[in-house]
Chains A and B, each alone.
Chain A
Amino acid sequence: MAATKHTLVALVADRPGVLNRMASLFRRRGFNIDSITEGHSEIPNLSRMTIVVDGTATMVEQVRKQLDKIVDVIKVTDITGPDIIARELALFKVKAAPANRSEIMQIVDIFRAGIVDVSQNSVIVEATGDEEKIDSLYELLRGFGIKEMARTGRVALSRGGPPAEKPSVRKKKKN
């Protein structure tokens, strides 16, 4: 079975140590994680994580099930497929002598990216898009010299419909 990239989305409790638990699990079981991002979700006290795993379907299913066993993980869904929106944010600090600037700006325009900082001999380019777009922008900017780069890794949601990872957060019963 071929290894492919899978996108898992996890809804997790905002508690100290959750990331630690997940990281510990990846390391211990030798799972190959491409990227992992975390931020607030639409539900108070819950975060949504996007995890990109490289592996066979069986292995990724193991990752999903093992993550699901963590008590602070509410729900994990493999949303891999055509019906997802996946984005990543990148910042590039590019060497930019005044002579190069207009050429850089043209590239930035084509990619619908932006220049968010300009200094004496560099600019910072901000771009959002899927990994391929970011990769090709990177290739083009590399020619000018990239001094620093920071990428967030993938965040993703499934398209339309009810969210596949809708949690069934139980209401506390009164008694």
Chain B
Amino acid sequence: MSSRNKHIDKSEALALFSQGDESVLENLKDLHNIDVYREMVQRNFHLHLSKSFGLSKAAIQGTKWESLVNDFIQHGQPKSKLFWQMPGEFLEFASAKIEHWQADLMKFEWSQVQLYFAPDYNRKGTKPFSYHPSHIAELHDEWSILNFEYPVYKIKWEDLEQHKGNYFLLQFRNQNTFEIENIELNIFLKELMLNLSTQQFNLAQTLTETLTKFNTSISPQINEQYQNFIHLLTQKNIIVGLL
């Protein structure tokens, strides 16, 4: 018996064994049906993680996936009180142990789950959106910007290596269908989106702030991108009105 195990009682040993720690078997000699507990615990984690990461599981494959999950059950120490949030902790745990593109894929899948269940946004303002440089746009918060090294959301897995780069994806929950949608952003639009979401700047200031960040001034092309993006955000109901 290892010295660690001398100080644990039998219920703790049963918990450790259920998590996959076989070194505590010595403490459990007179207990019955301990495998029933281990199977229940293991099955819950495996089932739920397979559901949350359907694509990632297929990408990581077989035994590697199995052992990642088993490792997590034993060593991952999940703290989520809400079971559905546990996969977020698995993502943190697993990311460094898999290929970068697989970690990107997991991030992509997990963000969808989070947004799907995210609390509803409560509007602060009452006015509908109309464009004027002095207006402050109100955005809901059911979105996030993901940064990827590999564009897992649009390129086949086997071709990803040739597309290594720096990608930004705006992922958001459609206000009518509740489904998760994606818009790819370039670095300028990513910055613009972040400035808009602070809701401290009016529309003119938002553009100026963003241009300053890139040390540049307005050009017809940039202006067109800007106008189109504001239009898209209103069309997709991400801009919900004016503050």
Q: Are A and B interaction partners?
A: no
> Which A positions have Cβ atoms within 8 angstroms of B?
none
Chain B residues within 8 Å of A, Cβ to Cβ: none
